[in-house]
A and B are shown apart, each in its own frame.
Chain A
Amino acid sequence: QKEVEQDPGPLSVPEGAIVSLNCTYSNSAFQYFMWYRQYSRKGPELLMYTYSSGNKEDGRFTAQVDKSSKYISLFIRDSQPSDSATYLCAMTYTGTASKLTFGTGTRLQVTL
């Protein structure tokens, strides 16, 4: 069993929809949680960075962490075609991201 599980998709939604992306993990030592966005043939770029449990909002993006359930989510409101990408969750024990463990990524397609 992988430390971090993520549904690979693909997930197809119409423009304007609310998107929910999720990861589960098995290691309770993870403290810092991140979401990266990766466009085709590009490197991942950091979207959201959260510590421990709770919510964090940034524009159309909201990250949620539920440590008791070992479950993290990324919500995208008013999704746009430009949001079409692969979304990778990542987590680490320490804040300096010394060793990130990534999920497999969920491929999202937002259609017109």
Chain B
Amino acid sequence: EAGVVQSPRYKIIEKKQPVAFWCNPISGHNTLYWYLQNLGQGPELLIRYENEEAVDDSQLPKDRFSAERLKGVDSTLKIQPAELGDSAVYLCASRGPNTGELFFGEGSRLTVL
């Protein structure tokens, strides 16, 4: 069974440029998460989807970040414009029904110059 797939793995951009990250969750997993992980820190939730509905986006900086999960499968996280402080790893995770286990992707590492 394929795990959570994220792309790109690495992205280097200049500040004020836009960037997008893509996530394909495990098949059948209705719940999808985007987490932010700064260096030396634990992951912090940005947004959680139940199917195509964003049910918790309270930690998403909506002035520059946006996310979508069309058709309740793949998801895209966008930053526009990127700032130096956005340099971090963006992790996608998914969870199946009736389980507490999250499965994480390998992350997308963003460097903003």
- The answer to whether residues A103 and B95 also contact, given A42-B106, A43-B4, A49-B100 and a CB cut-off of 8 A, is no
Docked complex Cα distance between A102 and B5 (Å): 22
A82 at interface (Cβ–Cβ under 8 A)? no
Q: Are A45 and B42 in contact (CB under 8 A)?
A: no
Tell me which residues across on chain A come within 8 A of B31, comparing CB atoms: 96
Q: Are B100 and A32 in contact (CB under 8 A)?
A: yes
Tell me which residues across on chain A come within 8 A of B104, comparing CB atoms: 43-45
List A72-96 residues whose CB lies under 8 Å from chain B.
88, 90, 92, 95-96
Contact bitstring B1-33, A, C-beta under 8 A = 1, else 0: 000100000000000000000000000000100
Interface size of B in residues (CB-CB distance below 8 Å)? 24
Question: Chain A's interface: helix, strand, loop or mixed, by majority?
Answer: loop
Docked complex Cα distance between A34 and B100 (Å): 10
A1 at interface (Cβ–Cβ under 8 A)? no
Contact bitstring A26-48, B, C-beta under 8 A = 1, else 0: 00000010100000011111100
Q: Are A43 and B42 in contact (CB under 8 A)?
A: no
B91 at interface (Cβ–Cβ under 8 A)? yes
- The answer to whether residues A98 and B4 also contact, given A43-B93, A43-B105, A46-B101 and a CB cut-off of 8 A, is no
Q: Return 10 A-B CB contacts under 8 Å, by A number.
A: A42-B107, A88-B43, A95-B100, A96-B99, A97-B95, A99-B56, A100-B45, A100-B102, A105-B41, A105-B42
B residues contacting A by CB (< 8 A) are 4, 31, 40-45, 48, 56, 91, 93, 95, 98-107, 109
